A and B are shown apart, each in its own frame.
Chain A
Amino acid sequence: MLKFFLFVLVAVTVNAQGNSAHGKELFLKYSCYACHGFSGQNGPGARLVPMKIAQAGFIAYVRNPPRPNQMPSYSAKAVPDADMADIYAYLKTLPDSAPAAKSIPLLNQILTAP
């Protein structure tokens, strides 16, 4: 009984917050990485890491991006809300690998070179 209760709890949590493991698959499947990088933050597209907007705002942005010639729009038919939630959950798990340039010796040398 307890196990069943925990299963239901987890399932509800996943539905509400998205399944990050599935989101990783979808991030690749929908080729999001092509513009945003496998890291979610390298490439010609916007940096998705750290994700600074709420899930609802993220989904609304993808449904109706301000510059669709750059960021293609995707309808709920093309990418259902549940998939969007999973992708969002995955992006939230990605580490923000953007230290200050000064803290990286290689970049600091370039920064301070005459």
Chain B
Amino acid sequence: MARSRRGFLKGAAAGAAVAVVAPQPSAKAQESAPRNATAQANATTVAADTGRRPATVASRIVEKPGSDFMVDVLKTLDFEYLAANPGSTFEGLHESLINYGDNKMPEFLTCCHEESAVAMAHGYAKIEGKPMIAMMHGTIGMQHASMAIYNAYVDRVPIYMVAGNHADGAERSSGVASLHSAQDIGALVRDYVKWDDQPYSLGHFAESAVRAYNIAMTPPMAPVLIVANYELQAHPNVQSDLRIPKLSRTRPPQGDSGAVAEAAQMLVAAERPLIITERTARTPHGMKLMIELAETLQAPVSNQERMDFPNRHPLAGTGGAGYQADVVLNLEVNDVSNSARAARARGAKTISITSLNLSHKSNIQEFGHYPEVDLNIGADAEATLPALIEACKKLITADRRRALDERGAKLAEAHKQARARDIELAAVGWDASPVSLARLCAELWPLIKNEDWSLVSWQGFISQWPRRLWTFDKHYQYIGGQGAGGMGYGAPAAVGAALANKKHGRFSVSIQTDGDLNYAPGVLWTAAHHQIPLLTIMHNNRGYHQEVMFIEQQASIRNRGADRAHIGTKLWNPNIDYAKMAQAYGQYAEGPITDPKDLAPAFQRAIAQVKKGEPALIDVVTQPR
């Protein structure tokens, strides 16, 4: 027999009420007990889903639950948003956030997967420069979230994570509550969070919550985890002397003055210095410092990851053909071992400045090979740049200045030639179908360049065409990649970054790979539901093309044909219709587009939707890279 949703909810609510008070039912609860067979069935269903609820309090009404105080604590840390997939281990805190906290600062963002929640926070932090809360439900939420946490850890992005957990075995019921709880729940992800704690009192929660924020935001930045024990959320707060510590931010460490002076000497004396940067500009000011250092030295800047240096600056690049660097300055480069080895082989020197030297873990091997560098400075690069620039300027004589400027002129010419070459290469396969990535990016550029735009997706899978064709000169115009190469990051990170851009009135665009979107496409709904303006252009090459190439290599090495390389790597037969997928999740969408002539009109229609404050998606069938 069909049953209405309203009826189901009514029955479920009644059943839940009974379950909560089961051991010592109050008179009020007895009144609301199920009175017919349907309600009884609902109570049974709910009990099966959630397990018997623990008797958290003797009375039905809790006037001042501990989770209200947790909200007071979180509000002092100025969080704008909290992303979560709901779960019973944090139901008390959830209720406090939306009722006691009025769902403001932070506002609750409904997510369809914990990996999406964390990756949204990842993208948000890279634009906003501060963390969002991602909340996880016990053991299952933590494990769902784990890949996204690892990406953020390697990408050095602060995420403030709160996990629910039934810590007290005496209060915890059997069944689901036990399945979703752990003795040491932080252990599930401790290898790739910077710090975690499981407070056992509200005072402890307050102190650890503030401490966690500071640790997350101190370079090298990384995710942190606070466990909000279920019992602490649910029990009444009976303490009258609770206080919330004032946040006292740790200033990022600056490089040792002697080491900075030595680095300056090496760089000023170098004939062909090269600056490699990955994550130096933590703030917009960091980008200005990067420009000042490059211009002081007249050295080329290879910007490998986030937006540290304008791509159209005459010093952007690696110096052109034949420019063999004799001193390489690595700024916040995660793994310098390869470039250091290459430098050593040609007699060049390597300097590294990174805060990673100050924080190490053992299990995960993301640190790569031991970096044999000539000068290793354990410090935050952005904080060190002013001293380094000053030290360099002091060493540059008038004669040296002339020599540096001559080098700068040659580098500017090399930059110009490299750019012209890139644009010529963009013409290759111009009318091809499937659409070339260069054509896609070239068609998009004139339509967004006059907006206050922000590219919120990684360029690695699209042959860096935006960097080669567009003009990037603002800190928020590019957020880099996944960190640890974990797929499933792209779509939610783009939504999180677009959310951060929203209040600034920026136009967010993501060139989204199909393989990545299929990990957890529910984030398309989150974007629609929360009205997050984001233009998503599908790079739909119908497969995991990196893996196709890897399988081909293996077949070659084993003297077998590559005719089966598509098995396990392609997303075709049937082809996935991303326009229909996005429409199903509530977004404006068009596609699939296979003729490049159809790109611009479709982009224009989607842009109009995004400018109304909505997400929109255009599915483009593309060349593999």
Q: Beta-carbon contacts of A37-51 to B below 8 Å, as 1s and 0s? A: 111011110010000
Q: Which of A42, A69, A73 contacts B625 (CB 8 A)?
A: A42
- Spot the interface stretch: B152-160, B214-222, B423-431: B423-431
The answer to whether A38 touches B434 (Cβ under 8 A) is yes
The answer to whether B428 touches A47 (Cβ under 8 A) is yes
Nearest Cβ in chain B — how far from A29, in angstroms? 5
Nearest Cβ in chain A — how far from B570, in angstroms? 9
Q: Beta-carbon contacts of A80-95 to B below 8 Å, as 1s and 0s? A: 0000000000000000
**Bound complex: CA of A110 vs CA of B312, how far in Å?**
12
**Bound complex: CA of A60 vs CA of B432, how far in Å?**
28
- Closest residue of chain A to B438, judged by CB? A42
The answer to whether B429 touches A37 (Cβ under 8 A) is yes
- Closest residue of chain B to A65, judged by CB? B556
User: Given contacts A35-B549, A101-B423, are A41 and B428 in contact (CB under 8 A)?
Assistant: yes
The answer to whether B442 touches A73 (Cβ under 8 A) is no
**Bound complex: CA of A72 vs CA of B560, how far in Å?**
11
**Bound complex: CA of A106 vs CA of B559, how far in Å?**
45
Nearest Cβ in chain A — how far from B466, in angstroms? 11
The answer to whether B428 touches A97 (Cβ under 8 A) is yes
Nearest Cβ in chain B — how far from A44, in angstroms? 6
**B residues in contact with A54, CB < 8 Å:** none
Q: How large is the interface on A (under 10, 10 to 19, 20 to 34, 35 or more residues)?
A: 35 or more
Q: Which of A30, A98, A100 contacts B429 (CB 8 A)?
A: A98
The answer to whether A78 touches B559 (Cβ under 8 A) is yes
* Interface: B552 (CB within 8 A): yes
**Bound complex: CA of A34 vs CA of B432, how far in Å?**
15
**A residues in contact with B436, CB < 8 Å:** 37, 39, 42
The answer to whether B553 touches A72 (Cβ under 8 A) is yes
Give the interface centre of B420, B471, B555, B624 by most chain A CB atoms within 10 Å. B624
The answer to whether B565 touches A34 (Cβ under 8 A) is yes
**Bound complex: CA of A32 vs CA of B463, how far in Å?**
18
Nearest Cβ in chain B — how far from A39, in angstroms? 4
* Interface: B443 (CB within 8 A): yes
**Bound complex: CA of A111 vs CA of B469, how far in Å?**
9
Q: Which of A38, A44, A72, A77 contacts B552 (CB 8 A)?
A: A72
The answer to whether A109 touches B446 (Cβ under 8 A) is yes
* Interface: B437 (CB within 8 A): yes
The answer to whether B428 touches A106 (Cβ under 8 A) is no
Q: Which of A35, A38, A69 contacts B432 (CB 8 A)?
A: A38
Nearest Cβ in chain B — how far from A66, in angstroms? 14
* Interface: A33 (CB within 8 A): yes
* Interface: B545 (CB within 8 A): yes
Q: Beta-carbon contacts of B554-577 to A below 8 Å, as 1s and 0s? A: 011101111101100000000000
**A residues in contact with B624, CB < 8 Å:** 33-35, 37-38, 42-43
**A residues in contact with B556, CB < 8 Å:** 68, 72-74, 78
The answer to whether B423 touches A37 (Cβ under 8 A) is no
List which B430-465 residues lie within 8 A (CB) of chain A.
430-432, 434, 436-438, 442-443, 445-446, 463
Q: Which of B551, B555, B557, B623 contacts A38 (CB 8 A)?
A: B623
Q: Which of B426, B463, B559 contacts A107 (CB 8 A)?
A: B426
* Interface: B22 (CB within 8 A): no
Nearest Cβ in chain B — how far from A26, in angstroms? 8
Give the interface centre of A39, A42, A43, A106 by most chain B CB atoms within 10 Å. A42
Q: How large is the interface on B (under 10, 10 to 19, 20 to 34, 35 or more residues)?
A: 35 or more
User: Given contacts A34-B548, A106-B442, are A42 and B429 in contact (CB under 8 A)?
Assistant: yes
- Closest residue of chain B to A95, judged by CB? B431
**B residues in contact with A75, CB < 8 Å:** 559
Nearest Cβ in chain B — how far from A81, in angstroms? 13
**B residues in contact with A106, CB < 8 Å:** 442-443, 445-446
Q: Beta-carbon contacts of B531-553 to A below 8 Å, as 1s and 0s? A: 00000000000000100110111
Nearest Cβ in chain B — how far from A52, in angstroms? 14
User: Given contacts A37-B436, A72-B553, A101-B423, are A107 and B442 in contact (CB under 8 A)?
Assistant: yes
The answer to whether B625 touches A110 (Cβ under 8 A) is no
**Bound complex: CA of A78 vs CA of B549, how far in Å?**
16
**A residues in contact with B443, CB < 8 Å:** 106
**B residues in contact with A100, CB < 8 Å:** 424, 427
- Closest residue of chain B to A74, judged by CB? B556
**A residues in contact with B446, CB < 8 Å:** 106, 109
**Bound complex: CA of A76 vs CA of B424, how far in Å?**
36
The answer to whether B561 touches A43 (Cβ under 8 A) is no
**Bound complex: CA of A57 vs CA of B625, how far in Å?**
26
Give the interface centre of A30, A74, A110 by most chain B CB atoms within 10 Å. A110
The answer to whether B424 touches A97 (Cβ under 8 A) is no
Nearest Cβ in chain A — how far from B142, in angstroms? 36
User: Given contacts A42-B625, A44-B625, are A31 and B565 in contact (CB under 8 A)?
Assistant: yes
User: Given contacts A31-B565, A39-B436, are A98 and B428 in contact (CB under 8 A)?
Assistant: yes
* Interface: A1 (CB within 8 A): no
The answer to whether A74 touches B442 (Cβ under 8 A) is no
**B residues in contact with A6, CB < 8 Å:** none
List which B396-436 residues lie within 8 A (CB) of chain A.
420, 423-424, 426-432, 434, 436
25 contacts between A and B (CB under 8 A): A30-B561, A31-B552, A33-B624, A34-B548, A34-B552, A37-B429, A38-B432, A38-B623, A41-B432, A42-B437, A43-B463, A68-B556, A72-B555, A72-B556, A73-B556, A74-B562, A75-B559, A77-B559, A79-B561, A97-B431, A97-B432, A98-B430, A107-B426, A109-B446, A110-B442
List 5 A-B pairs, minimum CB-CB distance, nearest first.
A72-B556, A39-B432, A42-B623, A34-B548, A39-B429
Inter-chain pairs besides A31-B552, A34-B548, A39-B623, 9 sampled, C-beta below 8 Å:
A31-B566, A38-B624, A42-B428, A43-B623, A44-B463, A78-B556, A106-B442, A110-B426, A111-B420
Residues of chain A touching chain B, judged by Cβ–Cβ distance below 8 Å, are: 29-31, 33-35, 37-39, 41-44, 47, 68-69, 72-75, 77-79, 97-101, 104, 106-107, 109-111, 113
